[in-house]
Structure 1
Amino acid sequence: GIIGPWDFRGGVFTTMIKRFLAGKIPAAVPGGFDFVDVRDVAGAALSAVEKGRSGEVYLTSGSYLNVADLFSIIERVSGTYHRRMNLPLWLARTAGEISDLWGRTTGKEVLFTRGSIDILQIDARINSAKAEEELGYKSRPLEETLRDTVNWMLRETAVNPEPAFI
């Protein structure tokens, strides 16, 4: 998943982080994803133009993180705390099916679907060794990405996080 600041169009992960900061995501679902900073991906694309070999494909990755750990980092960098449950997989899949039905019935876009739960179960870890070796690619720490993203959201968008619970 590509994440980072300046996503004015509101992609899936930006929307998820906004909703989490606003206290609208009460549960973490099982599974995880390989997250990479959009700035690192853009840098790799420029490096591929300058240094890459014609016809080659370069994969960029950042850090694989499960959803609960992602939420914990967002809490830490934002200074917020949200009480949340960790859903078992069977319940997350059932809730995803209900969410799918809700989206189809109302015509509203939903983030939490049966398909998104299934994707989180793949445990895909991207190997960026070729981009590192040939392009000099290096991903920044995910905590830095999330800190920059959260700070941008708090400055530029209508996110009102709940205060930290002590």
Structure 2
Amino acid sequence: MRVLVTGASGFIGSHAVAALREAGHECLLLVRNPEKAKKVFKVPGVLYEADIRDAEAVRDALEQCDAVLHAAADMGLTGHDVDLHGANVRGLKNVLAQAVDLGLDPVVHVSTVAVFVPPTEPVITVDSPLAKPRNAYGMSKLYGERYARDLEGVTIVYPGGVVGPGQPTLDALNEGFRAGLRQGWPIVPGGVSVLDVRDLAVALARCFTPGKGARRYLLGGHFLTWEQVAAVCEDVTGRRVRRFRVPGALFRSLGSALDVLKRVVPFDYPLTRDAADFMLTLVPTDDVPTLRDLGIALRPVEKTIEDTVRWLIAEGHLTL
């Protein structure tokens, strides 16, 4: 089938395109910057230049396809200046609602475990109650989540912290790993779900069987405490990783202080108050139903982190 991929030149989107092609699908790549896409893909394929906030352009692209993977989104946890409402709300509506209206099948939306955070249970399941986030990113994703659930026939995938090689623009958890290996890991309550982008891409590609109707797949990945993250980093690098233990309340305050300081003196460190809240409250996810239904197995977290570190070094993002 011919699949429209939004966010095709992004981290998740670019890996998903490779997995979709390997599964035999043709991809139409909806991108804002064709030159970036040509750098990301050795063989770019068919490019469609558009902004997902432009409803007419999105509809024209959808009319050329059988199915859609909506992977475009903006991240706000690490403090970058992004248009969260434009991408995560208006853009989402333009893609999903029009895809359903045109009868595309399947319609697959990449959400996030953030819609369940802060959690109310010790393990997040696909049926866990939606959270009540205080940060702008969480609220934008929660609005999009509710909208997607109200549409008929939309498949929603909830990835955890996505890492791995080949990120076109360093961001999110890859950026966090660079900071942890450079400056040291904060040892705080909570933890992180580590999901290899290549495993996520395979999972997304396996959603493209028509006639299945609406489905929801939770795929958080391997849950690690922050002490375990530091220990795995030591194992894969063979070097001692610095740690600094911080009480949860102080860690939140530090995130808030850095938010203020970055407005005056911009600097490269991904901790924000929003990121601190996420780091302190995340719990494991129950991925078993997803792994079983899609017939996939996650690669070992040590391999994922090793490949991520090697890539960070090879691309000049990190020096050990």
Give 2:205's aligned residue. Answer: 46
Task: Write the mapping of 1:1-166 to structure 2, written as runs, cut at 5 A.
Answer: 1-21=161-181, 23-25=182-184, 27-50=186-209, 53-106=212-265, 110-161=269-320
Equivalent AA in structure 2 for residue 18 of structure 1: R
Q: Which has the higher strand share?
A: 2
Any gaps of 5 or more consecutive residues in structure 2? Answer: 1-160
1:55-102: per-residue Cα shift (whole Å, max 9, x none)?
A: 212221321111221122112101221332211112212211111111
Report if the CA contact (8 A) 1:78-1:151 is conserved. Answer: no
Distance in structure 2 (CA, Å) of the matches to 1:127 and 1:26: 26
Distance in structure 2 (CA, Å) of the matches to 1:52 and 1:123: 34
Q: What is the DSSP-based 3-state SS (H/G/I as helix, E as strand, rest coil) of the residue aligned with 2:200?
A: helix
- Aligned-residue CA RMSD in angstroms? 2.1
Query: TM-score by structure 2 length?
Result: 0.46
Report if the CA contact (8 A) 2:187-2:227 is conserved. Answer: yes
Per-residue deviation at 1:122? 2.2
Question: Structure 1 residues 154, 42: closer, same or farther in 2, change over 3 A?
Answer: same
Q: Which has the higher helix share?
A: 1
Equivalent AA in structure 1 for residue 175 of structure 2: T
Per-residue deviation at 1:50? 3.7
Question: Structure 1 residues 26, 56: closer, same or farther in 2, change over 3 A?
Answer: closer
Distance in structure 2 (CA, Å) of the matches to 1:79 and 1:93: 31
Report if the CA contact (8 A) 1:92-1:117 is conserved. Answer: yes
> Kindly, what percent of the aligned residue pairs are identical?
28
Give 2:19's aligned residue. Answer: none
Per-residue deviation at 1:37? 0.7
Question: Looking at CA atoms only, which structure, 1 or 2, has the larger radius of gyration?
Answer: 2
Per-residue deviation at 1:54? 2.5
Question: Structure 1 residues 27, 55: closer, same or farther in 2, change over 3 A?
Answer: closer
Equivalent AA in structure 2 for residue 81 of structure 1: R
Any gaps of 5 or more consecutive residues in structure 1? Answer: 162-166
Distance in structure 1 (CA, Å) of the matches to 2:283 and 2:263: 28
Report if the CA contact (8 A) 2:203-2:296 is conserved. Answer: yes
The alignment covers a number of residue pairs equal to 160
Q: Decide which moves more: 40-49 or 70-79.
A: 70-79
If asked which structure has higher relative contact order (CA below 8 Å, sep 6+), I would say: 1
